[in-house]
Amino acid sequence: MLDVDGVLVTGKSLSGEHWGSSIHEDLGIEYSLLHEKFFIPYWDKIVTGQAELRQTLRPILAECAPTLTIDRLLNYWFENDAQVSANLLHELVELRAMGIEIHLTTNQEHERMAYLIRNLKLASYVDGCHYSAAMGCRKPTHDFFYKVEKRVGLTPEDMFLIDDSVANVDAALEVGWRAALWTSSARLTDLISSLSRKS
């Protein structure tokens, strides 16, 4: 079970530069304003499917950047938050050839998830995708992990999460999964080999 942002996808570059780092120069809106007006008050509801992305954005842009369209903002966001690790994709191909199933488990809203699957072609590298807006809950809540288990039909002992969030790794361990913290220097095959030695 592989996380997306911070693991497979790393922002504008492999160094992890944030997608909004130059948004003021490019689109004329401060990222700090988007963070304050949009992400802080509404993101939890959007990413768990309780609020709709475009409907929430519309009045905020009308107030803060009336000449900026929703499509232009979302295209900018998705395109600048889409650097995929080629090395990790290569590892996914090798692991699946060995018979190991790879699933994405990620906190995403519907439109960006569709972009990741369609435009970045991530679907061709994995066996399944489980994301928060589709399930109505997000990591690190235990419900997220329980719902993933039910979707794949496996026991907690068969689940192995790789995530760059300590809170998510801790939550996975609490529900009986095995889990490892991802770092920029990690290799997926090494983490799985380490897991096998501990089993």
CATH of domain 86-198: 3.40.50.1000
The token pair that represents 114 in the structure block: 């569709």
115 touches 78 (CB < 8 A): yes
Note the pLDDT of residue 196: 57
Domain boundaries, the chain: 23-80, 86-198
**Residues in CB range of 140: below 8 A, 6 or more apart:** 165, 167, 168, 170, 171, 172
pLDDT average, residue stretch 132-160: 97
Which stretches within the chain are classed as H helix? 23-27, 31-34, 40-47, 53-64, 70-80, 86-97, 110-118, 132-135, 142-152, 166-174, 188-198
The pTM of the full predicted model, rounded to 2 decimals, is 0.92
pLDDT digits (tens, 9 = 90+) for 30-86: 999 999 999 999 999 999 999 999 999 999 999 999 999 999 999 999 999 999 999
What value does the mean pLDDT take over residues 140-166?
A: 96
Helix (H) or strand (E) holding 86: helix 86-97
Residue 198 has pLDDT above 60, yes or no: no
- Helix, strand, coil shares of the chain as percentages rounded to 5? 55, 10, 35
The arithmetic mean of pLDDT across residues 78-98, rounded, is 94
**First and final CA of the chain: distance in angstroms?**
17
